[in-house]
Chains A and B, each alone.
Chain A
Amino acid sequence: MIFDIVIYILLAVGVFFNLLAGIGLLRFPDVYTRLHAGTKCTTFGSIFICGSVILLGLKTWYSGSSDGSVLAIHTVFALIAILLTNPTGAHAIARAAHRSGVMPFGAVVDDLKDGKVTPKKTAVKKKKKEVKK
């Protein structure tokens, strides 16, 4: 069957990218590069694995059983949850790591410490304090 071959290929690609995420998490030298490996690769791999499960559900539904449609629809919602939450969490972790003072590996100059990146409220408060003084 052509469906089985496509399901096997999608599973293999997804597992390969998840394995790359694990290896990159061990081998990279820095918080930001580890975040790069650990978030992007797992998101990409989970897209393929969920796609294989959706295809399996559609195949079961096509062959006459109504359980397959429920499996496919619930997997679509799980995939949407992963796609919405995973990059947002990675962004929050990167911002927290930068603001807690972790420098990139081998970095000498940190350009993000200029006044452009700090939020507007703190900048306004500093200006008010300067005016009072």
Chain B
Amino acid sequence: MIESFGTTYLVVILTLLLCVVMAIIRVIKGPTAPDRIVGLDTINTIVIVSMVIFGAAFNEVIYIDVAIVYALLSFISTLFIARYLEGGRF
């Protein structure tokens, strides 16, 4: 699998890395706190997608299992941070 699709997956991963770098710039520059949270949410989604790409490139299913668990945990963390910003009770 890695022999036939290797270069394509390398280009895809490098482009997703560029997106992550843009989101990190937004996290550092962001004027308010919700800007930074938007950047973190985007980084989470791109990391999930790149884990799926890794699983397809190396033909290992364990990366995709890690992606499922990471999606659910990042969802919970995003909800908690939003609740904290909102200022309500937990």
Minimal Cβ-Cβ distance residue in B for A50 = B52
Residues of B within 8 A of A70 (CB): 61
Q: How large is the interface on B (under 10, 10 to 19, 20 to 34, 35 or more residues)?
A: 35 or more
Contact between chains at A46 and B22 (CB < 8 Å)? no
A37-59 vs B, Cβ < 8 Å mask (1 yes, 0 no): 01100110110011011001100
> Interface residues of A: mostly helix, strand, loop or mixed?
helix
Q: Which of the residues A39, A81, A100, A102 comes within 8 Å of B41, measured between beta carbons? A: A39
Extra contacts besides A26-B25, A78-B67, A93-B82 (12): CB < 8 Å: A18-B16, A19-B19, A25-B23, A25-B39, A31-B38, A35-B38, A49-B52, A53-B55, A67-B59, A85-B74, A96-B34, A100-B34
- Interface residues, chain A, CB within 8 Å of chain B? 8, 11, 14-15, 18-19, 21-23, 25-26, 31, 34-35, 38-39, 42-43, 45-46, 49-50, 52-53, 56-57, 60, 67, 70-71, 74-75, 77-78, 81-82, 85-86, 88-90, 92-93, 95-97, 99-100, 102
